[in-house]
Amino acid sequence: MRAQAVWIIFIGTVIAVAAAVVAIIGFVESNVTLGIIAVVAAVAAVVGTVLLYRRSGATGRPAFEQALSADFAAAQQGWFHASGLAIDPTRRLLLVGTESGATRIPLSDISSVVYHRTQNTPAYGGNSILALIMLPAVIGSMVHNASKAGLHVTAGGRSYRIIGIQPKDAEVWQGRLADGAA
């Protein structure tokens, strides 16, 4: 999902911004029909982007839930946008669910747990040249959020990214994993 999510967000953002620019031009030149059609296109691009992004995030959930119900005695578990975590304290295992399936990791194999926060950029509305100047920064933060933001669990030389986890949840899971690995 990583590359797919980046492209979904990038293309959706470009289409929405282009439609918004056309809407501004339409309203400035008193072409209300063009302006309304462009506003509808911009809203449709944003809604479509969100729906595609959310759909792409559900890919690994069935494998994660199947692994949980099979023989994993999870004391704590959570599914976030596109990945999940569960801890079996008895067997000292971490279950990580991603788009590629579910993986069991011994807690002793975890070498690091790092959270990369999402990036935010200021939003400028209206007929503003500043909004167009800030467009590369907005697209850059969206690409960062789609490709890098999340909780990164490194074990056995491989990094697993937990996508969609909120800062408070990430802090809780960092504590759980630090306690479990000790």
pLDDT at 104: 92
Helix (H) or strand (E) holding 153, with range, is strand 150-155
Name the residue among 179, 168, 149, 129 with its Cα closest to residue 82.
Answer: 149
The pLDDT tens digits for 95-145 are 999 888 889 999 999 988 888 776 556 655 555 666 666 666 666 666 656
- pTM for the full model? 0.65
pLDDT at 17: 82
Instruction: Estimate the crossing angle of helix 135-147 against helix 2-28, to 10 degrees.
Output: 160
pLDDT at 1: 46
| pLDDT classification of 3: cutoffs 50, 70, 90 | low
Mean pLDDT for 76-94 is 89
The fold adopted by the segment(s) 60-182 is: PH-domain like (2.30.29)
The pLDDT tens digits for 15-68 are 888 888 888 888 888 898 998 998 898 888 888 877 777 776 677 888 888 988
Distance between CA atoms of residues 79 and 65, nearest Å = 9
Name the residue among 135, 150, 139 with its Cα closest to residue 99.
Answer: 150
